[in-house]
């Protein structure tokens, strides 16, 4: 039986401000999101869903979410979002009233079925704090949902990485109860990926035996300062998003994550000439 692959695009850390305002006085995050949306709209095959993994707004204010909604309007793909440390749960509930959250108040967790794949979107935000925490009801919900369909592969999304990336000022604001998530992931072999954001850099590690990623941002990147040489800083590195492609197959199938740079690049150029020979 051959089933179609499922494509989940992940974008992260949009940091949308009020119209005309620049992040840190320098970064036009609205323009960056426009370029990202153009890239998503052009991508073939069209992703089945876009997951926005937190820090949608910057301050946050209702005006920023209004601006975000206007910027997202040209996106031709369905999307779902979870809060980051720069977001407000209440403002997000108001901004996206059609979202089907698992709880009617508190954490904005969601479970989304895409063909044979389950996505678990986990709210790791802590009001007014930069670090992350999965609240007990979120952990209980995740554990129960994962137990309810053990044969279906599942991808977990949350804003805060549950591991140290080596960037000191970000590591002190990671997921504070990563051990609780570790226990749950270890219990459920159907978890095939833990996908996060927060650090604005493409990063890969293993967590509880599962590939675990950080999605880059469409705007600025946190400076890769592993030697603590500088004050917390950012760089305008090439923007990108992640594309998680699940190929159905034996067992849990196969999951591949692509790093997709955003921008106009020379090519594509053919490898072979009209005579079929390698150029
Ligand atoms: Fe963040």
Expressed in angstroms and rounded, the spacing between residue 125 Cα and the centre of ligand 1 is: 9
pLDDT attached to residue 189: 98
Expressed in angstroms and rounded, the spacing between residue 249 Cα and the centre of ligand 1 is: 35
Q: What is the pTM of this model?
A: 0.97
Expressed in angstroms and rounded, the spacing between residue 16 Cα and the centre of ligand 1 is: 12
Expressed in angstroms and rounded, the spacing between residue 264 Cα and the centre of ligand 1 is: 27
Residue 53's pLDDT band (cuts 50, 70, 90): very high
Options 3.60.21.10, 2.60.120.10, 1.10.4080.10, 3.40.50.12780; CATH for 6-261 is 3.60.21.10
pLDDT tens string 201-227:
999 999 999 999 999 999 999 999 999
Expressed in angstroms and rounded, the spacing between residue 159 Cα and the centre of ligand 1 is: 7
Expressed in angstroms and rounded, the spacing between residue 200 Cα and the centre of ligand 1 is: 8
Return d(Cα 56, Cα 198) in angstroms, integer: 11
pLDDT attached to residue 1: 46
pLDDT attached to residue 235: 98
| Tokens 């937190």, located at residue | 54
pLDDT attached to residue 3: 81
Q: Are 46 and 76 in contact (CB under 8 A)?
A: yes
Q: Which of 241, 234, 218 is nearest to 170 (CA)?
A: 234
The alpha carbon dihedral of 114, 34, 157, 122 has a sign of: negative
For 25-69, give the DSSP string.
Answer: TTB-HHHHHHHHHHHHHH-SSPPSEEEEES--BSS--HHHHHHHH
Expressed in angstroms and rounded, the spacing between residue 275 Cα and the centre of ligand 1 is: 52
Residue 2's pLDDT band (cuts 50, 70, 90): low
Mean pLDDT of 138-151: 98
Q: Where are the domains of the chain?
A: 6-261
Inform me whether the pLDDT recorded for 266 exceeds 90: yes
Expressed in angstroms and rounded, the spacing between residue 23 Cα and the centre of ligand 1 is: 13
């Amino acid at each position: 039986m051959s089933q179609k692959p499922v494509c989940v695009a992940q974008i992260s850390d949009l940091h949308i401000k009020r119209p005309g305002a620049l992040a840190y006085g320098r970064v036009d995050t609205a323009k960056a999101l426009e370029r990202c949306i153009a890239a998503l709209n052009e991508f073939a095959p069209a992703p089945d869903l876009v997951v926005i993994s937190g820090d949608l707004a910057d301050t946050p204010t209702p005006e920023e979410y209004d601006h975000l909604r206007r910027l997202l309007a040209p996106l031709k793909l369905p999307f779902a979002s979870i809060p980051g440390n720069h977001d407000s749960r209440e403002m997000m509930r108001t901004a996206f009233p059609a979202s089907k959250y698992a709880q009617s108040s508190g954490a904005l967790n969601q479970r989304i079925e895409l063909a044979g794949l389950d996505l678990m979107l986990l709210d790791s935000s802590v009001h007014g704090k930069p670090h992350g925490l999965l609240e007990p009801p979120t952990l209980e919900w995740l554990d129960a949902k994962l137990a309810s369909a053990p044969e279906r592969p599942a991808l977990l999304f949350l804003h805060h990485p549950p591991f140290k990336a080596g960037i000191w000022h970000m590591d002190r604001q990671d997921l504070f109860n990563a051990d609780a998530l570790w226990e749950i992931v270890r219990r459920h072999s159907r978890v095939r990926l833990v996908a996060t954001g927060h650090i604005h850099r493409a990063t890969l590690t293993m967590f509880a035996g599962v590939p675990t990623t950080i999605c880059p941002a469409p705007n600025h990147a946190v400076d890769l300062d592993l030697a603590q040489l500088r004050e917390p800083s950012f760089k305008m590195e090439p923007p990108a998003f992640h594309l998680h492609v699940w190929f159905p197959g034996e067992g849990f199938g196969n999951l591949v994550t692509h790093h997709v740079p955003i921008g106009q690049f020379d090519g594509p150029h053919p490898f072979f000439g009209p005579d079929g020979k390698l150029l």
